[in-house]
Amino acid sequence: MKITVVGGGYVGLVSGACLAKTGHDVTIIDTIPQKVDMINSGRPPIYEKGLEEILKSCVGRNLCASLNYDSVAESDIALICVGTPPRPDGSANLEYIESAAESIGREIGKAESRGVHRFRTVVVKSTVPPGTTEKIVFPAVMKGVGSCATADELSIDIGFAMNPEFLREGLAVEDFLNPDRIVIGSGGGKAKDAVTAMYEGIGTERLYCGITAAEMIKYTSNAFLATKISFSNEIGNICKQLGIDVYEVMKGVGMDHRISPFFLNAGAGFGGSCFPKDVSALVSLAESSGIDPVLLKSVLGVNDAQPLRMIELLEKRIGDISGKHIAVLGLAFKNDTDDIRDSRSIPVLAELIKKGAKITAYDPMATAAMKTLFDESKVIYCANAKDALKDADACLVMTEWPEFTKLDAEFDGMRSRVIIEGRRILSVKDKEGICW
């Protein structure tokens, strides 16, 4: 199949690359020239395990990137994979979705005017509120079509579908090629068949449903996982006060097949590009529908407060932070990525700066990204953990990088060995956990 992917971010780039790997002819559209050039040279603009190998094997053969929408004319499927960032009120900003849809429509209109007739399916892969595909994407596509030719002049056959992604950053390639499930929301017919054919060769269970149900499945999945994390953190906070090891507790809880052991690790909270944004959007959607989502608001409240408990523990151990040297290990929101979006390190760094601490920090991949938020006048970024820890009064571990599990003698360089971890990964004895 010929596939156009609109958006070269995590979802679009990984989806496009993996679809090319499975044999489709893929064009990825992005608005940033530097990103397009990098993709076309086989260099991923983001770090994602296994992505560079796919780009090198497919670019120049059946994968390319472009700044324009020309490829839509010959495409069987146009995938919309643009961002839906939160507005100030927490609702999803859909302007990029609408713009992409209208641009796709214009190219379809131009193609049909030239006599390039074929069935095309517009598929939303971005996370969007229920009703977006039908109420925003469909009208925008048809508006784009109409801007190039009138409906009377054209014989246009367009299908619409919703195909949510369930990709974990750092494991996105693996998740795309070996998914738990593939959700295809459509009205049936040729659109359903087209999306099904797109996944030919990827063996897993398919769920066919309505478009709005597919949109809601993505929000609900992320909200439920975020709820498990905040619930575990709240139990962890209780266990901390009672002197109980929350990891022992959650190990026993997770052995219940109705619960499962996943997303029960207590710690500093969740971050990234999905959970905070999607739960906030679901809260906004509920409130706009006259529902008070008490549980979901609590999930966000627990998550906002959790990283600041690191600061509370720190002050109990060393007193006034002003003028103290604090080392922060881990800046990315999780390991195996350079993504800092909603990283739990951000509120911790902001609070340390507010309280007048001298901060050194180290992350294997996310230093450049964090410098865009906190420059080197506020945070001293180091090349390794040992340098960050040298002469520190205390250390906060914020990300579960595997290399941190091996740290030991590096802590000997600290002025005082006060070590507080927000992720349970350290093997040294003299450390304290946020929830344990």
Q: Which residues are annotated as catalytic? A: 274
Residues 48 and 342: their CA atoms lie apart, in Å, by 18
Instruction: Please identify which residue in the block is written with the tokens 């991949």.
Output: 365
Backbone angles phi, psi at 170, to 5 degrees: 95, -25
Question: Which tokens is 60 given?
Answer: 């120049």
Length of the chain: 436
